[in-house]
């Protein structure tokens, strides 16, 4: 299975990005995939498990977040936070690309995942990759992390994939990203209604939509996109609200 995965990832990377993937990138992703399959039944990490679907819908999809904002991501010393990391997407493929393929120096990443089991799985993957000095997990609710002094407004980039409706997602992300930093939010094709309902949240949370990167992946029935939201100022201390409030009563 590992050899099939590596062949498919190498082939599809070349197809979508018109360059050869670094061997270290392929190996790191394969190691992650093997652990994902091993732990999946116990921890319910993903419904997508076959090699070709995993390559396309997990790894290639995650790499596209880089294409949405390369100048900010591929920068030495970049400090990234991924929220709701689950099985590690887009966080781990993103970091592997940064570290092994692009050669970015001194990059750091924090993975916020409220499930202790899933956070433990992520720690296993990070340790196996030898990246414990560069990547850390935080087994917290996102709102708890956003209120914690060591995380609040500390990150250059905050990422999330298919985590919540946009007004809720903005409230999750804004407390973590520093002024001048950017939130990169992976969403599906039909996003206009969410964008329209987020105008109040954007103003209140000191964010401004600055990009809407659209891409396509074979086998998917709809296009994918990455919304970019730049932090324009220091966030009021009343945010984040208590856990659950952003989802229950979003700012609209």
Angle separating helix axes 2-17 and 23-43, nearest 10 degrees: 120
Predicted pLDDT of residue 44: 86
For the chain of 252 residues, list the mean pLDDT of each consecutive stretch of 10.
92 97 97 95 89 96 96 97 96 98 97 95 96 97 96 98 90 97 90 90 96 93 93 96 93 90
Predicted pLDDT of residue 2: 84
Closest C-alpha among 46, 91, 76, 58 to residue 184 = 91
Q: How far apart are CA 186 and CA 213, in angstroms?
A: 9
Q: What is the pTM of this model?
A: 0.95
Output the 3-class SS for the chain.
CHHHHHHHHHHHHHHHHCCCCCHHHHHHHHHHHHHHHHHHHHHCCCCCCCHHHHHHHHHHHHHHHHHCCHHHHCCCCCEEEEECCCCCCCHHHHHHHHHHHCCCCCCEEEEECCCHHHHHHHHHHHHHCCCCCCEEEECCCHHHHHHCCCCCCCEEEEEEECCCCHHHHHHHHCCCEEEEEEEEEEEECCCHHHHHCCHHHHHHCCEEEEEEEEECCCCCCCCEEEEEEEECCCCCCCCCCCCCHHHHCCCC
Predicted pLDDT of residue 42: 87
Domain boundaries along the sequence of the chain: 2-233+241-248
Predicted pLDDT of residue 1: 60
Q: How far apart are CA 214 and CA 228, in angstroms?
A: 11
Predicted pLDDT of residue 153: 98
Domain 2-233+241-248, what fold?
Rossmann fold (3.40.50)
CB neighbours of residue 154 within 10 Å: 16
């Amino acid at each position: 299975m590992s050899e099939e995965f590596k062949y498919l990832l190498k082939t599809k990377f070349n197809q979508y990005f018109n360059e050869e993937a670094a061997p270290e990138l392929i190996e790191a992703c394969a190691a992650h995939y093997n652990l994902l399959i091993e732990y999946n039944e116990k921890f319910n990490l993903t419904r997508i498990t076959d090699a070709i679907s995993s390559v396309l819908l997990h790894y290639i999809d995650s790499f596209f977040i880089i294409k949405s904002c390369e100048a900010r991501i591929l920068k030495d010393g970049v400090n990234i936070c991924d929220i709701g990391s689950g099985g590690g997407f887009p966080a781990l493929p993103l970091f592997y690309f940064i570290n092994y393929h692009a050669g970015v120096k001194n990059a750091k990443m924090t993975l916020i995942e409220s499930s202790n089991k899933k956070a433990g799985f992520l720690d296993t993957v990070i340790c196996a990759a030898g990246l414990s000095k560069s990547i850390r997990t935080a087994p917290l609710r996102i709102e708890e992390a956003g209120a914690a002094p060591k995380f609040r407004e500390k990150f250059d980039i905050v990422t999330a994939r298919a985590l919540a409706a946009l007004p809720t997602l903005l409230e999750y992300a804004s407390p973590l990203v520093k002024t001048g930093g950017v939130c990169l939010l992976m969403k599906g094709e039909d996003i206009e209604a969410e964008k329209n309902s987020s105008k109040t949240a954007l103003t209140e949370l000191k964010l401004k939509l600055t990009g809407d990167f659209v891409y396509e992946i074979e086998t998917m029935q709809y296009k994918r996109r990455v919304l970019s939201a730049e932090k324009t100022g220091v966030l009021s201390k009343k945010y984040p609200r208590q856990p659950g409030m952003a989802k229950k009563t979003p700012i609209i």
